[in-house]
Structure 1
Amino acid sequence: MAKIEREDNGKKGRFIIYENDEFAGEMTYTWADKEKFIIDHTSVEEKFGGRGFAKQLVMEGVAYARKNNLKIIPLCPYTKSRFDKDKNLGDVLA
């Protein structure tokens, strides 16, 4: 079962996904201001590809934004494509 954790230093942060305690990928972000963050990179380790981990990372970021009344600027090409495909994410789009 994959597990996702979040790290944040007040300027930048990342969501990290682990499979059986092994690093499987991450989605990094930078704070644009107190109410918006920019998702700038999403990557999954090759051996974990094809399992939907990148989508799980994006959805974790969306859940975090919703819970904290934040908006997302999706600059990462993968994240932008998820937002383009899933109109249900529009509520957190900056």
Structure 2
Amino acid sequence: MRVIDNKEENRFEAEVDGYKAIIEYSVQPGILSLNHTEVPEELSGRGIASEMTEKVLLQIELRGLKVIPVCPFTKNYIEKHPEWKSIVANEAKKKKPSQD
């Protein structure tokens, strides 16, 4: 899977079988906040979101940036793969889940 950074749209994109999966982000100095992951229904159940998240986190790490996992999928992915906690921005580590 090839994941590209569409900086004009502030999202990472991967085309699979003619469908586009995306991870939207916002930019802060030295940090990308991963805000939303979306995989078309036609691709569901194939591990596309996990594979894409792995590649996006690797790109962020290689750029020397930190990540704030706002998206619930991304947060869960990092919890299941603690090797990525090293690139989580300190302010994201301090926040506790809301008690709504």
Judge same fold: TM > 0.5, yes or no. yes
SS at match of 2:2: strand
Which stretches of structure 1, 4 residues or more, deviate above 3 A after TM superposition? none
Measure, in 2, the Cα distance between the counterparts of 1:91 and 1:15.
21
**Match of 1:8?**
7
Match among 62, 77, 81 for residue 76 of structure 2: 81
Q: In percent, how many aligned pairs have the same letter?
A: 24
TM value normalised by structure 2: 0.81
Bigger Rg, which one: 2
Please list every run of 5 or more consecutive structure 2 residues that lacks an aligned counterpart in the other structure: 90-100
Please list every run of 5 or more consecutive structure 1 residues that lacks an aligned counterpart in the other structure: none
**Match of 2:25?**
29
State the number of aligned residues: 89
> Hey, which of these two has a bigger chunk of strand by percent?
1
Deviations 1:19-72 (A, max 9, x none): 14x123100100022x10100000100010011111122112111111111000
Measure, in 1, the Cα distance between the counterparts of 2:77 and 2:40.
19
TM value normalised by structure 1: 0.86
